[in-house]
């Protein structure tokens, strides 16, 4: 026995070294939620090992091969043993994956009706008796559907769900589920806080960085099926053949994962890189140029998705430069890609300095154009009327464009939420936006049902998320930034899921199943968005940010090239009170909403407190339902925001030791930074508004550490690195 023992020990040592190495990988966050370490719950492990002794995979498309690689890697890791992938059924407890056309077994199960109901991208996961034994079957109409089903099963296993007698039918509610990368050709990322762009243009198309594949895997695991790879403030060179060829390589890598590539297009490309006199959409040469350009792109990228355009917005060129309408401009590009099955996503984010209320402008600009856009154009509308603020009422364009495909644009990168330095789980924000009721066709006409096409029966439906990814090893800088990428993808597939449920999934897949970790961390995530609202813009205040960087507070900002870039434009604080009157007595922006929505906002007394200052100029001594005056409530909420962050820090401190040291320390340090910022916001804003309120900060609150002058100075001297 002795030599045996020795060998045992040797194995043991090497095994531990091995685990050590694995640990390193496990901790740097690179694997995101796709970690295939052995299942920790032993009962589940045994059950899964029993249920999945082999994989039977039909089809030999590139996508099938991708599915095979993923399920082999996934099962072998989760079950801690090699699971064979075969083309023929031989075992008596197998996982069978395929489509009726590729797999005789699946075609024999008479799933046609069910499969029809899940469409091209959906899938079924069911237990079936085949050749006298029970097997789990993943069936779909397409290979991509089967891939989605495979990722879904792996997620169920990673979250230790029951798979006995499993019966799942799933299909996406929205067609175009797209990431928007604000990535420049020099690889800097606008509002990107996680390193340089993922796309290493210098080495494309020659070098296929393995990271491109892992990016595709991560998106496919959520059902994201499109990616706009360059900044909406678009460099026209993106449309030159040099870059089209580079992008074609990315498209080749993404294709098997069901992901299409889109370009942001500069509307002046015909004159800037095409050598034409102008870029007037009614100029036949310009129209021909876009057609030829589309043909060239599709020659290199046969499944090219189409264009995203930011036109006549923040200095970007557009059809209005030639006195043409947005519809006239969009339709030229739409016509160019239509023969190839492409679409144009046209951003509704427009505002001009002349307007007296920026809130109104998207609606005033686009509602008159309803019905004038080509069928393959989708209007891309941000969740709120201003610009991704911590809280906004829903955009009045949702529910008011019956004849215009309308999609929702959410921001995943935390431009107004503390960059990659603050923990801010977007679940509550996204759900708030999706479940807002437009009453377009009576109660229940939620934004979600508008963009999934139910309310107006749109030809194309879509949802876009401005990505927070970069070359940082963990993809998103803040370890919890990953949760917002995950959240976006999962909600894009099915917006009926809850923020809390998705947080729970993500935590278990990303960290651990230990309830002592999961519960406090879930609470921390769920409270984080409201905390961010409170220490920055409580009670419906908005856009109090220092310009340029949108990190620190500058409610005093008053002289900028455009009034609607200043803070005073938004808060309108004076000796009487504070807030932007958007009722009839003011800009009357509320008239853009359905009567039922208007009724929620037009009376100061009835307006929900979180939206109060969005719609009313409220006296400082106005008595609120909370029993406090407006001034007291404002102070209370700013202080509450800081307390929230302190509570988040306590919750995180309580989980020390339950996960790897690396990620624990990282988040710990970032929460420290977040509290500093929360204090900065609270003190700067309370001291600034106090000048107008002329009231003291109530006794019970700690005094701001410095004077208002100090914080004004800090805005100038405190340097926030862009990257």
Q: Give me the active site residues, please.
A: 314, 387, 415
CB of 187 to a copy of itself, least distance (A): 4
Contact 312/356 with Cβ under 8 angstroms?
no
Binder among 130, 178, 421, 503 for a copy of itself (CB under 8 A) = 421
Binder among 143, 472, 504, 564 for a copy of itself (CB under 8 A) = 472
Select from 194-202, 380-388, 430-438, 678-686 the region that touches a copy of itself (CB under 8 A).
194-202
CA contacts within 13 A on the Cβ side of 671: 24
Binder among 59, 100, 149, 195 for a copy of itself (CB under 8 A) = 195
Residue 193 touching a copy of itself (CB under 8 A): yes
Beta strands in 242-400 (DSSP E): 260-264, 306-309, 343-347, 377-382
Binding mask 222-251 for a copy of itself (x = CB under 8 A): ---------------x--x-xx--------
472 vs 564, which CB is nearer to a copy of itself? Answer: 472
Query: Does residue 205 have a cis bond before it (omega within 30 degrees)?
Result: yes
Beta strands at 123-130 and 133-139: parallel, antiparallel or unpaired: antiparallel
Contacts of 436 (CB under 8 A, 6+ apart): 393, 394, 398, 446, 447
Binder among 14, 50, 282, 653 for a copy of itself (CB under 8 A) = 14
Residue 15 touching a copy of itself (CB under 8 A): yes
Residue 367 touching a copy of itself (CB under 8 A): no
CB of 237 to a copy of itself, least distance (A): 5
73 vs 340, which CB is nearer to a copy of itself? Answer: 73
Contact 143/59 with Cβ under 8 angstroms?
yes
CB of 163 to a copy of itself, least distance (A): 23
Binding mask 149-188 for a copy of itself (x = CB under 8 A): ------------------------------------xxxx
How far, in Å, CA of 106 to CA of 102, rounded?
Answer: 8
201 vs 692, which CB is nearer to a copy of itself? Answer: 201
DSSP for 573-641 reads --SSEES---STTTT-GGGGS-HHHHHHHSSTTTS-GGGHHHH--EETTPBPTTSSBHHHHHHHHHHHH
CB of 471 to a copy of itself, least distance (A): 6
Distances (CA, A) of 363 to 302, 348, 385, 405, 693: 36, 9, 9, 15, 34
449 vs 666, which CB is nearer to a copy of itself? Answer: 666
Compute the C-alpha angle 115/116/120, nearest 5°: 85
4 vs 42, which CB is nearer to a copy of itself? Answer: 4
Binder among 3, 43, 206, 548 for a copy of itself (CB under 8 A) = 206
Select from 200-208, 225-233, 261-269, 401-409 the region that touches a copy of itself (CB under 8 A).
200-208
Report the candidate in 94, 105, 97, 96 with the shortest Cα–Cα distance to residue 53. 94
Binding mask 246-275 for a copy of itself (x = CB under 8 A): ------------------------------
C-alpha of 523 from chain center:
21
Hey, what are 506's tokens?
A: 């993500």
Q: Which residues pair with 136 in a beta bridge?
A: 95, 127
Q: Which residues pair with 578 in a beta bridge?
A: 618
How far, in Å, CA of 415 to CA of 43, rounded?
Answer: 44
8 vs 596, which CB is nearer to a copy of itself? Answer: 8
185 vs 634, which CB is nearer to a copy of itself? Answer: 185
Binding mask 663-692 for a copy of itself (x = CB under 8 A): --xx--xx-xx-------------------
How far, in Å, CA of 283 to CA of 323, rounded?
Answer: 12
How far, in Å, CA of 537 to CA of 553, rounded?
Answer: 10
Contact 180/408 with Cβ under 8 angstroms?
no
69 vs 114, which CB is nearer to a copy of itself? Answer: 69
Which of the residues 75 through 114 are near a copy of itself (CB under 8 A)?
76-77, 80-82
200 vs 523, which CB is nearer to a copy of itself? Answer: 200
How many Å is the Cα radius of gyration of the chain? 27
If residue 525 lies in a helix (H) or strand (E), which one and from where to where? helix 515-536
Binder among 89, 196, 367, 604 for a copy of itself (CB under 8 A) = 196
21 vs 282, which CB is nearer to a copy of itself? Answer: 21
Q: What is residue 283's three-state secondary structure?
A: coil
Select from 191-199, 275-283, 338-346, 535-543 the region that touches a copy of itself (CB under 8 A).
191-199
Hey, what are 468's tokens?
A: 């927070």
668 vs 695, which CB is nearer to a copy of itself? Answer: 668
193 vs 366, which CB is nearer to a copy of itself? Answer: 193
Residue 363 touching a copy of itself (CB under 8 A): no
Hey, what are 224's tokens?
A: 């994201």
Residue 42 touching a copy of itself (CB under 8 A): no
Binder among 208, 500, 523, 643 for a copy of itself (CB under 8 A) = 208
573 vs 659, which CB is nearer to a copy of itself? Answer: 659
Q: Given the structure tokens 């800097």, which residue do they identify? A: 188
C-alpha of 349 from chain center:
17
Beta strands at 176-180 and 85-86: parallel, antiparallel or unpaired: unpaired
Binder among 49, 471, 628, 712 for a copy of itself (CB under 8 A) = 471
* Ramachandran class of 155: left when φ > 0, alpha when ψ lies in -120 to 50, beta otherwise: alpha
Contact 438/394 with Cβ under 8 angstroms?
yes
First to last CA, the chain: 60
Residue 11 touching a copy of itself (CB under 8 A): yes
Select from 73-81, 376-384, 600-608, 637-645 the region that touches a copy of itself (CB under 8 A).
73-81
Binder among 2, 4, 323, 561 for a copy of itself (CB under 8 A) = 4
Contact 682/639 with Cβ under 8 angstroms?
yes
CB of 321 to a copy of itself, least distance (A): 25
Residue 710 touching a copy of itself (CB under 8 A): no
The sign of the CA dihedral 288, 293, 296, 302 is negative
- Exposure string of 441-466, with b = 16+ CB inside 10 Å and e = fewer, is eeeebbbbbbbbbbbbebebbbbbbb
Residue 473 touching a copy of itself (CB under 8 A): yes
Select from 205-213, 278-286, 503-511, 691-699 the region that touches a copy of itself (CB under 8 A).
205-213
Number of residues forming the site for a copy of itself (CB under 8 A): 58
Binder among 207, 442, 444, 608 for a copy of itself (CB under 8 A) = 207
What phi, psi does 311 have (nearest 5°)?
-120, 140
How far, in Å, CA of 417 to CA of 595, rounded?
Answer: 32
Q: What is residue 118's three-state secondary structure?
A: helix
CB of 499 to a copy of itself, least distance (A): 27
CB of 414 to a copy of itself, least distance (A): 12
CB of 664 to a copy of itself, least distance (A): 12
Hey, what are 76's tokens?
A: 């072998």
Select from 140-148, 203-211, 532-540, 601-609 the region that touches a copy of itself (CB under 8 A).
203-211
Which of the residues 400 through 419 are near a copy of itself (CB under 8 A)?
419
Q: Which residues bind a copy of itself (CB under 8 A)?
A: 4, 7-8, 11-15, 17-19, 21-22, 24-25, 76-77, 80-82, 185-188, 193, 195-196, 201-203, 206-208, 210, 237, 240, 242-243, 419-421, 471-473, 662, 665-666, 669-670, 672-673, 717-723
């Amino acid at each position: 026995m002795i030599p045996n023992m020795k060998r045992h020990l040797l194995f043991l040592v090497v095994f531990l070294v091995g685990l050590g190495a694995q640990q390193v990988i496990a901790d740097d966050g690179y694997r995101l939620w796709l970690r295939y370490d052995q299942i920790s719950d032993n009962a589940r492990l045994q059950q899964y090992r029993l249920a999945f002794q082999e994989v039977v995979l039909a089809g030999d498309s590139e996508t099938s091969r991708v599915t095979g690689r993923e399920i082999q890697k996934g099962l072998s890791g989760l079950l801690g043993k090699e699971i064979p992938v075969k083309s023929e059924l031989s075992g008596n407890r197998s996982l069978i994956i395929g489509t009726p056309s590729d797999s005789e077994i699946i075609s024999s199960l008479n799933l046609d009706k069910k499969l029809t109901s899940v469409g091209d991208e959906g899938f079924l996961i069911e237990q079936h008796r085949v050749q006298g034994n029970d097997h789990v079957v993943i069936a779909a109409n397409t290979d991509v559907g089967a891939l989605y089903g495979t990722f879904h099963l792996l997620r169920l296993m990673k979250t230790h769900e029951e798979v006995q007698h499993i019966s799942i039918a799933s299909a996406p509610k929205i067609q175009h589920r797209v990431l928007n990368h604000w990535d420049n050709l020099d690889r800097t990322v606008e509002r990107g806080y996680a390193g340089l762009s993922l796309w290493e243009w210098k080495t494309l198309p020659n070098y296929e960085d393995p990271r491109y594949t892992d990016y595709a895997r991560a998106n496919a695991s959520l059902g994201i099926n499109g990616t706009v790879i360059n900044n909406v403030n678009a460099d026209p060179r993106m449309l030159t053949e040099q870059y089209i060829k580079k992008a074609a390589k990315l498209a080749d890598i993404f294709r098997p994962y069901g992901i299409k590539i889109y370009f942001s297009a500069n509307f002046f490309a015909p004159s800037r890189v095409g050598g034409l006199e102008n870029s007037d959409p009614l100029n036949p040469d310009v129209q021909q140029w876009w057609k030829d350009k589309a043909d060239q792109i599709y020659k290199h990228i046969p499944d090219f998705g189409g264009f995203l355009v930011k036109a006549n917005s923040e200095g970007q060129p557009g059809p209005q430069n030639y006195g043409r309408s947005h519809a006239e401009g969009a339709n030229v590009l739409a016509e160019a890609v239509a023969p190839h099955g492409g679409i144009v996503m046209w951003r509704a984010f427009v505002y001009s300095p002349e307007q007296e209320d920026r809130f109104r402008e998207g609606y005033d600009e686009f509602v008159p154009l309803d019905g004038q856009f080509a069928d393959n154009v989708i209007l891309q509308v941000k969740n709120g009327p201003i610009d991704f603020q911590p809280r906004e009422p829903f955009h009045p364009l949702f529910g008011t464009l019956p004849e215009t495909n309308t999609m929702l644009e959410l921001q995943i990168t935390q431009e107004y939420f503390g960059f990659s330095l603050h923990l801010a789980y977007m679940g509550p924000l996204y759900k708030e936006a999706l479940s807002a009721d437009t009453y377009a066709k009576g109660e229940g006409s939620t934004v979600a049902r508008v963009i999934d096409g139910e309310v107006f029966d749109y030809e194309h439906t879509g949802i876009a998320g401005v990505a927070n990814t970069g070359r940082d090893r963990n993809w998103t800088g803040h370890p919890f930034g990953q949760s917002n990428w995950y959240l976006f993808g999962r909600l894009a597939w099915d917006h009926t899921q809850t923020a809390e449920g998705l947080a729970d999934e993500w935590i278990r897949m990303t960290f651990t199943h230990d309830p002592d970790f999961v519960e406090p961390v879930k609470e921390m995530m769920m409270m984080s968005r409201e905390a961010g609202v409170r220490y920055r813009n409580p009670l419906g205040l908005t856009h109090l940010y220092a310009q340029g960087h949108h990190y620190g507070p500058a409610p005093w900002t008053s002289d900028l090239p455009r009034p609607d870039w200043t803070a005073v434009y938004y808060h309108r604080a004076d000796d009487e009170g504070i807030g932007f009157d958007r009722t009839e007595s003011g800009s009357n922006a509320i008239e853009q909403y359905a009567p039922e929505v208007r009724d929620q906002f037009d009376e100061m007394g009835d307006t929900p407190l979180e939206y109060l200052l969005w719609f009313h100029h409220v006296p400082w001594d106005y008595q609120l339902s909370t029993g406090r005056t407006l001034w007291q409530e404002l102070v209370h909420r700013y202080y509450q925001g800081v307390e929230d962050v302190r509570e988040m820090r306590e919750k995180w401190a309580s989980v020390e030791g339950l996960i790897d040291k690396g990620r624990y320390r990282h988040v710990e340090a970032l929460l420290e930074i977040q509290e500093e910022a929360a204090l900065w916001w609270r003190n700067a804003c309370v001291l600034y508004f106090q000048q107008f309120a002329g009231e003291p900060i109530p006794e019970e609150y700690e005094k701001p550490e410095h004077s208002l002058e100090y914080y004004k100075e800090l805005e100038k001297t405190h340097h926030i690195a862009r990257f």
